[in-house]
Structure 1
């Protein structure tokens, strides 16, 4: 019995002897600092989102410029300076109903983390983000991402997140395609995504 087993294993080893060596797939996890920010901005723009990069001192002025006089949903813990006076703010306290969210012009939020390699923004319903539904119903989403929130890779981003929180991964405006690959935007979330990268 041992001889038969040895012979079978020898035949298997012989058959596998000329197989190609495993291919090493390079991973783009070496981006740091400015490189990560630039890559993140490039990838977000590839998803048809509009990207702005500003120093921290110019953030409030840019928010005012982008939002104008629109009616914007506000998570309850947005920093007070972000609540620029030209906007009609719709605070989510008490929680806004579906009709109010659907009738708003947009929503302003921060994020939990962003991923340079994929151009993805992750929300976890934490500080400055509000309830998950706030970013799913309005047709426009303005998201503020600080440089310190940009992780180089998916594993690095996941290490910063709490898996028990409600995570929403955003890679550009909401879009889907039918069987003929006709792109339709705004089906599962906002049709327009603008991202402000704050170089803090």
Structure 2
């Protein structure tokens, strides 16, 4: 008996209790998956996010709206950044405290031009605490996917607690499956056959996350 015969025999066996004429869309499929894991307050969920971001070697900062421009300016200065790439919908006040040249996200930008940019600054769509993951969906304050994959330094602002969820199942309803989603868990990294970790292979070598405390009006507006 060939491997093909074995596979087909197993398929036939698995289908023995399926009524004749029933298609894949026939029987209803229960979708009662567990969305929330455990019981955490919103503050505890934010703390878990910060812990798991750091565990993935992201650098975590905290500030409020008033202190955000100054913090961004300081972080860019500490890296010696002279240029920062910004999406078209990013709040211009975020870079008001930075002595850098703003580079606009242009369709015509080549990979070489993007690689020459010192840093990229974006917002995010949602952040997942249990996995330490940032999800970008190419929204106005995030730009196209490639701008966060080519530059070596990514500064990402997460509004807390409004953009933070506990689990992946909680995040999915907030995301549109037809949008270009980028899931980021720490800086880009890989390991060779000897398990030597190399960072910056297919994305930023350095990921800095700013947890921005938003006021209640912004959270609910």
1:191 aligns with 205
* Normalised TM-score (structure 2): 0.75
- Given that 1:28 and 1:117 are in contact with CA atoms closer than 8 Å, whether structure 2 keeps it comes out as no
Runs of 4+ residues over 4 Å off in structure 1: none
| CA-to-aligned-CA distance 1:30-71 (integer Å, 9 cap, x gap) | 333111111000000001110001122211111111112521
- Given that 1:108 and 1:142 are in contact with CA atoms closer than 8 Å, whether structure 2 keeps it comes out as yes
Gaps of 5+ in 2: 1-33, 215-221
How big is the alpha-carbon RMSD for the aligned residues of Structure 1 and Structure 2?
1.6
- Given that 1:122 and 1:170 are in contact with CA atoms closer than 8 Å, whether structure 2 keeps it comes out as yes
1:58 aligns with 67
| CA-to-aligned-CA distance 1:63-97 (integer Å, 9 cap, x gap) | 11111252111111110101325111111135422
* Normalised TM-score (structure 1): 0.83
Gaps of 5+ in 1: 1-24
Alignment size in residue pairs: 175
1:154 aligns with 168
| CA-to-aligned-CA distance 1:81-127 (integer Å, 9 cap, x gap) | 01325111111135422111011111000000000111100001012
Distance 1:161 1:94 in 2: 24
1:109 aligns with 2:116: no
- Answer with 1 or 2: which has the greater Rg: 1
Distance 1:94 1:189 in 2: 19
